[in-house]
Structures are given as C-alpha cells and as structure tokens.
Amino acid sequence: MPAEKISSLQNPRIKQLVRLRDRRPRDEAGVFLVEGYREIRRALEKKVALSELYYAPEWFLGENEEALIREAEAAGARPFELSKDAFAKVAYRERPDGLLAVAPQWRKSLEDLEASLAGSIPFLLVVEAIEKPGNLGTILRSADAAGCQAVIVCDPVTDLFNPNVVRASTGVLFSVPCVVADNEAVLAWLHKRGIRAVATTPAAPSLYTQTDLTGPLAVLMGSEQYGLSEFWLKNSGALVRIPMEGQADSLNVAMATVITLFEAVRQRGPAQG
C-alpha cells in the first residue's frame, strides 16, 4: 500500500509516538517502540508482528533501508513516510537512522521457558531490580552472546519494553526469551527443575573462578546500587564474588554480568553450550 506522508508535528500519530516513550501509555496500548535498522531487522527475523513502520529517507545512513521497508510492509506493517522534522520529533536517538516501528508487547511465563530448556543443560540468567534501562539492555545482549537460554527479570524496576532497553540490547530482546516474575515464584521454579542458583555479591567468600558453574545453572545478578536482596543471598546454592583490587568497591552490573557469564561458558565448555 502507498505510504501515508506526515509532515506536521501536531499530527495525532506523531503525538502518540511521543507518548509511547513513557511506560503507562505503552502498557495501555500494549505496544512499544523499536527504533533503528538493526533492531527492526531482528524483529522481522523473529517474526514479530510490527503494526506500523515510520521512516524518513533524509535520515537514512545506508542503502538497505528500502529493502527493509518493503519486507516490513510484506509482513503486515502499515508504512508512514515522515518529514525530517517529524521523524526527529518521534526519535529517541540523538542521531536517528530514519526507521521506527511499533511492535506488540508480549508476556511470557516461567512455564513458557520449558521449550527453550528441553533436551539441554539449563543455563539461565536471573536479574533482580535492575534500575537503568541501558544496563538491562546490555545484560540481555551479554546473555545472548554467552548462550543463555533465557533471562528472568525478578521484581523489575525497569520496564522490559523501555526504548533504551530495546536500543542497548541491539534487538536481542526479540531473540532471548525473557520472563518477568517475582522472587518466590522464580525460586520455586528453579528448585522444581533442579537448577542451581549461584548469586553474586562482593561479600561472598568464594571467587567466581573457584566455584563450579557447570550443570543446570542460574546466575543471579542484583542491582548496581543495592546488590541482590537478602532473599536471594539466603536461598542461593552458592555465593560468589569478582575480585576487586583497586579502590572501586563494585563494577557496573552489566560488566559484572558478562564477566561471570563467560566464566560459566569457559567452565561448561562445548558439551554444555
């Protein structure tokens, strides 16, 4: 279908896209924003049903945008061509690339992870109360790189569909199964399936490199400000720490996550990958 053209900053669709930066309007509409070529490409690869695609040729950075637009249209996305100023209004990147889509939110349960774990030795990441969207997105990206079968977000502070989570994950949000659940439900689910929880905390007696991270495993990471809650410190199968030799008493949570996950990858080897 021919793309509807929009140039007015007062157009109702422009105003709605701006509102979708905030969580309440996103949740009320059941949708979220996906900005950027790579992110939209990954959404299409995972058969996410994009409802709308907004584009502004004056912002394009490469030569593949037109093909992506045609692919999104063929998959059912309604196209809208925006003026440069209109796109700048709705973009949340400092230097946009002229592509923005609207995607449906989804909700997965712990039981929905069964298919991801079938026939494998479980390797999961559990994060609790991560405050910063950029950190959560980077954590998703690291979990994907490490081969985690799923990420479980406990007692979330940050919305999984925050635009900066999508951006920092570089679209990995669409490929790594993500579940949001409370601590008690997650612990019961892990116990039922014989998955050992290993919690990270600066006060742990054991180094992460000296702890067995093979077998069915869930690595637990807490918030950067407060760390893991007492609930997880008391109910985990092991507590580990990353050695800190300088004056800093903690690492960025996304950095600590990738360090710990890839130690697990090293220990587990290809047989458990």
> Two tokens at 67?
């093909």
Which pLDDT score, from 0 to 100, does residue 248 have? 58
Q: Residue range 226-252: average pLDDT?
A: 86
Give yes or no for residue 116 having a pLDDT over 90: no
Domain boundary among 53, 78, 104: 104
Contact 101, 33 (CB under 8 A): yes
Q: What total of structural domains would you count in the chain?
A: 2
Residue 25's alpha-carbon distances to 1, 31, 163, in angstroms, are 28, 9, 13
**What's the whole-number average pLDDT of the chain?**
94
Average pLDDT over residues 210-236: 94
Digit-coded pLDDT (tens) for 173-200? 999 999 999 999 999 999 999 999 999 9
Q: Under a CB-based contact definition with an 8 Å cutoff, are residues 136 and 158 in contact?
A: yes
Instruction: Inform me whether the pLDDT recorded for 114 exceeds 90.
Output: no
pLDDT at 273 over 70: no
Residue 151 CB neighbour total at 10 angstroms:
25
Of the listed ranges 7-16, 53-62, 196-205, 238-247, the one predicted with least confidence = 238-247
Residues 158 and 228 placed together within one structural domain of the fold: yes
Q: What is the pLDDT of residue 255?
A: 93
134-150, pLDDT tens digit by residue?
A: 999 999 999 999 999 99
User: CA distances (Å), 273 to each of 120, 139, 144, 190, in order?
Assistant: 9, 18, 12, 19
Of the listed ranges 27-31, 54-58, 99-103, 220-224, the least confidently predicted one is: 220-224
Q: Which two tokens stand for residue 233?
A: 């410190």
Here the CATH number for the domain that contains residue 66 is 3.30.1330.30
Together in a domain, 41 and 122:
no
Q: Are 234 and 222 in contact (CB under 8 A)?
A: no
Structure tokens at 9: 């900053």
CATH classification of the domain holding 171: 3.40.1280.10
Nearest alpha carbon to residue 103 among 7, 55, 35, 25: 35
What pLDDT does residue 244 have?
79
**DSSP-derived 3-state class of residue 65:** helix
Q: Residue 179 and residue 62: Cα distance in Å, rounded? A: 35
Asked if residue 257 and residue 175 are part of one domain, the reply reads yes
* Whole-structure pTM value: 0.92
Give the integer Cα–Cα distance in Å for 47 and 72: 10
CA distance 76 to 29: 18
Domain that holds residue 92: 4-104
pLDDT of amino acid 38: 95
Same-domain status, 123 and 85: no
pLDDT of residue 270: 75
- Does 141 lie in the same domain as 12? no
| 9 touches 86 (CB < 8 A) | yes
User: Do 45 and 153 belong together in one domain?
Assistant: no
